[in-house]
């Protein structure tokens, strides 16, 4: 369905929650190293509950390796610097929803990469720095899925 990509995530619990999100929405989860935790960390397993076996997750050595696996898909970079509102995007299955690490977000070199289709933002009150990574991914995935009538994939990776 849709592909969630976490660029250099730092907090195991957020990635565990994203594993659950991928499992319940039929999305794929792509993690770009370096990770700020061990994939065997108890917080990751606790946050993911028993959904690890139901989620499609791939770990990529770096962003270039992730792009090699994911492109030519459209890549939407979620950032507080985004020009487009997340609800204004017409998402298509296979789109990549890219999120940066906690607490810094995506670096400028990633945001300015020509392979980024658009920089997208979630609205927040002025003066607020950021939203939780797993919550942000959930909002984006569910908006993309809503636009497709919450269609059920025939397999977990569609």
Task: Extract the annotated binding site for S-adenosyl-L-methionine.
Answer: 100, 122, 130
- List beta partners, residue 96: 3, 75
Direct distance between the N- and C-terminal alpha carbons of the chain, in angstroms, rounded to an integer: 4
Cα-Cα-Cα-Cα dihedral sign, residues 34, 140, 75, 120: negative
Distance between alpha carbon 51 and the CA centroid of its chain, in Å?
17
C-alpha–C-alpha distance, residues 97 and 52, integer Å: 20
* Cis before 12? omega within 30: no
Cα-Cα-Cα-Cα dihedral sign, residues 124, 80, 96, 53: negative
Annotated binding-site positions: 100, 122, 130
Closest CA relative to residue 12, chosen from 96, 122, 133 = 133
């Amino acid at each position: 369905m849709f592909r969630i990509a976490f660029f250099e995530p730092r907090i195991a619990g957020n990635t565990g929650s994203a594993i659950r999100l991928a499992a319940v929405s039929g999305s794929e989860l792509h993690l770009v190293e370096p990770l700020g935790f061990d994939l065997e960390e108890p917080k990751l397993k606790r946050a993911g509950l028993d959904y690890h076996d139901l989620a499609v997750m791939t770990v990529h050595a770096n962003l270039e390796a992730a792009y090699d696996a994911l492109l030519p898909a459209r890549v939407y970079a979620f950032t507080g610097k985004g020009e487009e509102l997340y609800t204004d995007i017409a998402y298509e299955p296979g789109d990549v929803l890219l999120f940066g690490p906690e607490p810094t977000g995506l670096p400028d070199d990633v945001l300015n990469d020509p392979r980024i289709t658009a920089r997208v933002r979630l609205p927040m009150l002025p003066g607020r720095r950021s939203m939780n990574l797993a919550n942000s991914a959930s909002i984006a995935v569910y908006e993309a899925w809503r636009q497709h009538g919450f269609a059920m994939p025939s397999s977990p990776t569609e």
